[in-house]
Amino acid sequence: MTALDELARVADAVLFEGYLLYPYRASAQKNRLRWQFGVLVPPGYAEESGEAAANRTECLLEAGPATALHVRLRFLRLRARSVYDADGRPIDHLVVDGTRVFAWEEGQPATVDAVVAVGELLAGPRAVSFALSADLEVEPVAGGSVHRRCWPLAGRLVLSATELPGPYGALRLRLDVLNDSQCPPEARREEALRTSLIAAHSLLSLDAGSFLSPTDPPEWAKPATAELTNEHTWPVLGGPEDRSDLLLSSPIILADHPRLAPESPTDLFDGTEIDEILSLRTLVLTDEEKAEARATDPKAAAVIDAVDGMPPEIWERLHGAVRSLGPSRTDPTEVPPWEQPEVPWWDPGVDESVSPETDSVLVGSVQVRKGVAVRLRPRGGGDAQDTFLVGLRATVQAVLHDVDGEVHVAVSLDDDPAAELQLAHGRYRYFRPDELEPVRVS
């Protein structure tokens, strides 16, 4: 296993982000406009459409001339699955052994690797060309045939490095990924995608030396970091937090050292959704909907099968986890956070002057604290939904102070049928003191 293989799970999440969305069926409207992340189209189509035909990654690193830099480009290659009847006419689907096979566009992972010494890049740019030939698979089936076709692809990786001025000895690395493929003149996007690099992203590793964080560099490197140019990609440090020899350059914005939540056992292809909600919605699809999803794509079938077979303990894990924002334990005898007695977030043992349940704020001539009845008078310019709350009666649940010295009042609506449930979960609505009108009790 190489160092880059350690980034495989996170990189796969980037590669297949948005690949196929719930309800995972070919007939779903949201699955008819696909391939949105990290698409590098052929240059001829780029000129007409304004889409990108290349991306650029720039970063800073500390490494000697003999250091080996390993670059891995990963992307999806479109593979069109077409279905034909016995007379060779294209159709939407066939039924093979009781299972439907749909016409569909699959994504076939592709990888390009290059290894170069840092010293070579200091001497001048280094280009690594790659080409993938066309391919056609014909599968005869009962009542017709299934064709799977890929179109030819060509591209380049162009690497260069320059020394930064000053005493620190750092280098500025540039990686350009270019699509050199051809597409027909005046092609539609559906045609251009056949020779596009889809979900293109790069992984980089050093056998010695380190990358500097592009988002949180050391103080001395901040001016040089601000001058870096990254186009259609977002580089971050990869691997565990104690590593700095790995870099992931992604079309999706990530933080340094991204990782997958251990509670998430299944690839759902939609990082913007909550796994529990998406899994539950998948679980309650009808048998007909699940059958269509399984017939749409092998990855959709894997999602359906995984959710259908998910044991209770996995569902419990999906319900959520609490992670400490504090430093990790170094003393094995230290009591872990989940075994410590529950204390309020403001920790009265540290700051006895803060107590949301007893603090108050002056509104007009009335001291407003927990339990006081108020009417809501939201000011304009905030949440549009606040307009529905004007004049409603509420009860104050807490008075809070933020780190900037501002005061916020947490309230629950008196006439909200879900108020009891929201109180049990600590969910309130928040307003500034000048958005409240105390209700005078006669």
Asked if 88 and 143 touch (Cβ cutoff 8 Å), the reply is no
pTM given for the model: 0.68
- In the chain, the percentage of residues whose pLDDT exceeds 70 is 86
Q: Under 8 Å CB-to-CB from 355, ≥6 apart: which residues?
A: 346, 348
pLDDT at residue 1, as a whole number: 59
- The domain spans of the chain are 35-260, 361-438
For the segment 323-373, what is each residue's pLDDT rounded down to a tens digit? Answer: 554 555 555 556 655 555 555 545 545 455 568 888 899 998 899 999 999
Q: Kindly tell me if the per-residue pLDDT of 207 is higher than 80.
A: yes
Higher confidence at residue 287 or residue 23? 287
Q: Is the pLDDT of residue 190 over 60?
A: yes
Q: Which position has the higher pLDDT, 16 or 152?
A: 152
How many other C-beta atoms can be found within 10 angstroms of the C-beta atom of residue 10? 20
Mean pLDDT of 132-159: 94
Pick from 176, 236, 185, 179: nearest CA to 211: 236
pLDDT value of position 273: 59
Q: What average pLDDT does range 97-119 have in this prediction?
A: 90
State the pLDDT at residue 166: 81
Collapsed DSSP state (helix, strand, coil) of residue 92: coil
- Flag whether pLDDT at 271 surpasses 70: no
**369-421: pLDDT as tens digits:** 999 999 999 987 667 788 888 999 999 999 998 877 789 999 999 988 888 88
- The mean predicted confidence, pLDDT, of the chain is 85
> Is it the case that residue 193 has pLDDT exceeding 90?
yes
pLDDT score of 198 more than 90? yes
374 versus 22: the higher-pLDDT residue is 374
Kindly report the length of the chain.
Answer: 442
Q: What is the CATH number of domain 361-438?
A: 2.30.30
Distance between CA 85 and CA 145 in Å, rounded? 7
User: Predicted confidence band at 321 (pLDDT cuts at 50, 70, 90)?
Assistant: low
Provide the pLDDT for residue 256: 93
Closest CA to 397 of 420, 366, 379, 364: 420
pLDDT band of 221, cuts 50, 70, 90:
very high
Amino acid at the residue 44 = G
